[in-house]
Amino acid sequence: MLDANLKDQLKAYLENVKEHIELVAAYDDSKKSQELKELLEEIEPLSDKIALRTEDDQSVRRPSFAINRVNSDVGVRFAGIPMGHEFTSLVLALLQVGGHPSKASQEVIEQIQSLDGDFEFETFFSLSCQNCPDVVQALNLLSILNPKIRHTSIDGALFQDEVERKEIMAVPAVFLNGEPWGQGRMTLEEIVAKLDSNAGAKEAEKINRKDPFEVLVIGGGPAGSSAAIYAARKGIRTGIAAERFGGQVADTMGIENLISVPYTEGPKLVAAMEQHVKEYDVDIMNMQRAEKLIPASQTGGYHEIRLENGASLKARSLVLSTGARWRQLGVPGEEEYRNKGVAYCPHCDGPLFKGKRVAVIGGGNSGVEAAIDLAGIVGHVTLLEFADEMKADEVLQKKLRSLKNVEILTCAQTTEVTGEGGKVNGLTYKDRSSGDEHHVALEGVFVQIGLMPNTEWLKGDIELSQHGEIIVDERGETSIPGVFAAGDATTVPYKQIVISMGEGSKAALSAFDFLIRHEVPESEEEAAA
């Protein structure tokens, strides 16, 4: 299963294994079991600290395997074959169970080790899901660092009966002690905070003790990362507060238009951005959701950002780069059946609809690409476009029309997502040409109708467009002196990663220019002292 080059790379990584580990495999008569056996037999000889044996316990899932540290309680289990996006999870599990240290901060490691209680986690993933590895790797690390935590990662495509029984229609899906616990991408810090009941209060207390920043960036996507780097390079006190570092990019599959980088994937780009920011003296405050902007009372004074956890931050200048999120249809049934047939990531959730009927809402590039990808997995795809023609690139439209299991409906306004027994069973749309209503029977609805800015928290405090975007000029300046904005949350046209990066750097340079031209008012300087 592994080519010679991959074997060589893996062998080099496995030189970092310090403790003896054992691969304990559980097979059945399936073809996938044979593939798993082949994979494990290829891994075993790559290190003299790895042994392989067969599982005797008949109650465990098959095919599956455990990675256990010899003479200890440390271990993780994979049910399935962790290839594709999960191959990195396999490599990290081998290394970390084998005693190689994690790159997590010492603070987070100690927080994990202090968690009290019995935690049995199960994570359902798909091999095409770019968000799943973050969750799998985080929970694996928890189980390695704390013997009271156990974790099994399960390929939903191989355990369809279990997926159906648990009504899983979106991944990653996390269960704790048999009960639904989490859905979607989560970072290590988010998981730990959710388990540690005192985490929010402790973090708020820590943030409240911070001195005012000269530049404070709100948002950690391409614009925010770029702004933080450019500000820090000026040698000024810089902070970045982000609800989720990487933002929407973390949910993006293939990226082929970032100049000089022919191809990358969202999670890889996010990791690279975060690493680049960490090269500079930037105070990164992750998992922080901004709730309120209180502008400075005088030009050059301190703006205040109140956070959802009750803490607040002050800064002489701000760069608002809160990005955007998937736009919702806003029709009956959409929220009710979210993650129960209504989905927004075809790469993540597409494999769960193998052989079934799905709809894609939206005829732009994202919608057509989603329909093309899904057509190779599902039984049938119905694409619905509100306008009288699709707006996707012609090359994509041509490809879509060539697929035999795809139906294209234009002038189609989705009016309702219907369901039964807690699952989607179809959608209703209106033909905008005739006014007639139609119902399409299906099991899944993938919404791909663009993005909307994360600016609700700014209403009434800063000038926004009719679409909720922050109005900026050519320098990234907003309606408030000392407050700048960049990226998908602004009125700058063409929402592209490369444009957001450029706008973020411009906003930071504008903020620096503002700082050198405006002194702190004496009254505020005394108050801050």
pTM: 0.78
Nearest CA-CA partner of 108 in 195, 205, 172: 195
Q: How confident is the model at residue 209 (pLDDT cuts 50, 70, 90)?
A: very high
**Residues 256-277: tens digit of each pLDDT:** 889 999 999 888 999 999 999 9
**What is the C-alpha separation between 486 and 217, in angstroms, rounded?**
10
CA distance 432 to 386: 8
pLDDT beyond 60 at 433 = yes
Question: What are the structural domain ranges in the chain?
Answer: 4-197, 205-325+452-528, 342-449
Q: Say how many C-beta atoms besides its own lie within 10 A of residue 272's C-beta.
A: 13
> Is residue 527 scored above 70 in pLDDT?
no
Q: To which H or E segment does residue 92 belong?
A: helix 87-97
pLDDT over 60 (residue 391): yes
Per-residue pLDDT, 199: 78
DSSP state, residue 140: H
DSSP 8-state code for residue 328? P
Res 523 pLDDT > 80: no
Quick one: pLDDT at residue 252?
79
pLDDT band at residue 255 using 50, 70 and 90 as cut-offs: confident
Please give the pLDDT value at position 200: 79
Summarised one tens digit per residue, pLDDT across range 332-375 is 999 999 989 999 888 878 888 999 999 999 999 989 999 999 99
Q: Where are the alpha helices (DSSP H) in 345-468?
A: 346-349, 365-375, 394-401
Q: Percentage of the chain with pLDDT > 70?
A: 99
Cα–Cα–Cα angle for 496, 505, 513, rounded to 5 degrees? 145
Average pLDDT over residues 227-233: 98
Amino acid occupying residue 25? A
CATH class of 205-325+452-528: alpha beta
* 283-308 b/e (C-beta count within 10 Å ≥ 16 → b): bbbbbbebeebebbeeebbbbbbebe
Domain spanning 342-449, CATH class: alpha beta
pLDDT of residue 161: 92
**Closest listed residue to residue 414, CA positions, set 434, 400, 432:** 432
pLDDT score recorded for residue 356: 96
- Can 4-197 and 205-325+452-528 be said to share one CATH topology? no
Pick 4-197's CATH classification: 1.10.1670.10, 1.10.10.10, 3.30.1660.40, 3.40.30.80: 3.40.30.80
The mean pLDDT of 246-254, rounded to a whole number, is 83
Q: Tell me what the pLDDT averaged over the chain comes to.
A: 94
Q: 100-155: per-residue pLDDT in tens?
A: 999 999 999 999 999 998 999 999 999 988 889 999 999 999 999 999 999 999 99
Q: What pLDDT, on a 0 to 100 scale, did the predictor assign at position 457?
A: 97
* Alpha carbons 487 and 223: distance in angstroms, whole number: 5
| Inter-residue contact 89 to 188 (CB < 8 Å) | no
Catalytic residues: 345, 348-349
pLDDT of residue 349: 87
